[in-house]
Amino acid sequence: MPKENDFEATEKRILSVFEHAGLKRVLSMRKLPGDASNRSYYRCYLENDKSYIVMVNAASDKAIVSEEIATHAKDFNELPFINIHRYLTQLGVKVPAMHYHDDEEGILILDDLGDDLLGDIINNRGLSAELYKQAIDMMIRFQIKEEQIPPWCYARLNRFNSNLYDFEFDHFIEYGITKAGAELPHNILSKLQRLFHRLSVLFERYSVIFVHRDYHSRNLLNFQGQLYTIDFQDALIGAPHYDLASLLRDAYVELPDDFVDQMVEYYLANSPYAAAGFKDIFTLICIQRMLKAAGRFRYIKLVKGNDKFMQYIPRLLQRVKKLALSYNSDPPLEILAEVIGRIPPAE
């Protein structure tokens, strides 16, 4: 939890930005529950009965992206959120309207679209094929080939190449295996590392389009029957399968396999990237994405002292093991299933 004086300092920053923006006076504000990022969010209530969402970045550094991407990022001239917001808006993708931004403070004032997250809808009210099809339609809209993306769009500055995939696999080995208390014999670890690198090289071949990178149920808001996407500042060039995997093998909801299959078929019927072998690569990227999340969630606990995401690790690892055992194409994944079986239960 932030110290009281930290909140007061942030409150003063926010009030100052509202004053510079020429908006109505803020009557009150409250901090919203955090996600797995370094950003914080506040709901500000104004004297005209209107509310806004304020995004506060951890620092004024313009190169604020996820820690993984930051290793490979270029210098930015503006906040990545602003840059990607502009691009998605031009595409007609539904994103919260931005009313003001202060780059020096790293503060943005956005439309308040409420709290009706897709994940909460599914967990509390049940499956909705209509909403998932809407999410897939939105995804297809922004899945633009790299050469058709304008050069000013920051998504072109980063790529899901084999180095980044290797980084995420290594992150899982460190935090998802070793720091989870699993001890792997050297020959097992070496075999796993060879498999992971082989997958990294394979995945890089498909990095040809705009990828949101965090396109899941907690980054999709339902407002007046329409889905809006948020948290897109880490967009980069990646595989068509990636955001679909993020959406359908989401840590925060449990989607039945037949529903996942139905949504994959809907995507393939409407996407220009449907091709032979798509489902095999989709399965492999689902596995990579879930391993990345499992390692990340333990990292957040151990390094940042936040254990709220630990509850999702068993679900992720069980899915990975199930997919690894049922996968019957190349490369074989039995070693991965064996390793998952050696990981102690999440505390």
- Kindly state whether residue 197 falls inside one of the protein's structural domains: yes
Whether 88 and 148 map to the same domain: the answer is no
pLDDT in tens, 256-302: 999 999 999 999 999 999 999 999 999 999 999 999 999 999 999 99
Q: State the average pLDDT for the chain.
A: 92
- Kindly state whether residue 347 falls inside one of the protein's structural domains: no
- Kindly state whether residue 307 falls inside one of the protein's structural domains: yes
pLDDT in tens, 25-65: 899 999 998 665 678 899 999 987 899 999 998 654 444 44
**Percent of the chain whose predicted confidence (pLDDT) is above 90:** 82
- Kindly state whether residue 182 falls inside one of the protein's structural domains: yes
Per-residue b/e over 62-78, b at no fewer than 16 CB within 10 Å? Answer: bebbbebbeebbeebee
CATH classification at residue 15: 3.30.200.20
Q: What per-residue confidence (pLDDT) applies to 25?
A: 87
Among 154, 29, 63, 42, which residue's Cα sits nearest to residue 108? 42
Q: What per-residue confidence (pLDDT) applies to 1?
A: 43
Whether 52 and 79 map to the same domain: the answer is yes
Whether 270 and 337 map to the same domain: the answer is yes
CATH classification at residue 178: 3.90.1200.10
Q: What per-residue confidence (pLDDT) applies to 292?
A: 98
Does residue 76 register a pLDDT over 80? no
Determine the average pLDDT of the residues in 227-233.
96
- Kindly state whether residue 290 falls inside one of the protein's structural domains: yes
Whether 125 and 107 map to the same domain: the answer is no
Q: Which of 95, 111, 127 is the last residue of a domain?
A: 111
**Percent of the chain whose predicted confidence (pLDDT) is above 70:** 92
Four-residue CA torsion sign, 263, 319, 68, 160 = negative
- The pLDDT confidence band at residue 71, using thresholds 50, 70 and 90, is very low
Whether 70 and 145 map to the same domain: the answer is no
Cα–Cα distance for residue pair 34/42, rounded to 1 Å: 10
- Total domains present in the chain: 2
Whether 76 and 186 map to the same domain: the answer is no
Could you tell me the two tokens for 163?
A: 């180095």
- Note down the domain range covering 136: 118-342
Does residue 67 register a pLDDT over 60? no
- The pLDDT confidence band at residue 77, using thresholds 50, 70 and 90, is confident
Q: Which of 94, 111, 128 is the last residue of a domain?
A: 111
pLDDT in tens, 144-191: 999 999 999 999 999 999 999 999 999 999 999 999 999 999 999 999
Q: Which of 45, 76, 111 is the last residue of a domain?
A: 111
- The pLDDT confidence band at residue 8, using thresholds 50, 70 and 90, is confident
pLDDT in tens, 303-315: 999 999 999 999 9
Q: What per-residue confidence (pLDDT) applies to 59?
A: 58
* Start-end of H helices in the chain: 4-21, 67-70, 80-91, 118-125, 129-142, 162-171, 186-204, 240-248, 257-270, 278-304, 313-326, 334-342
Whether 56 and 157 map to the same domain: the answer is no
Whether 171 and 291 map to the same domain: the answer is yes
Could you tell me the two tokens for 317?
A: 């690892």
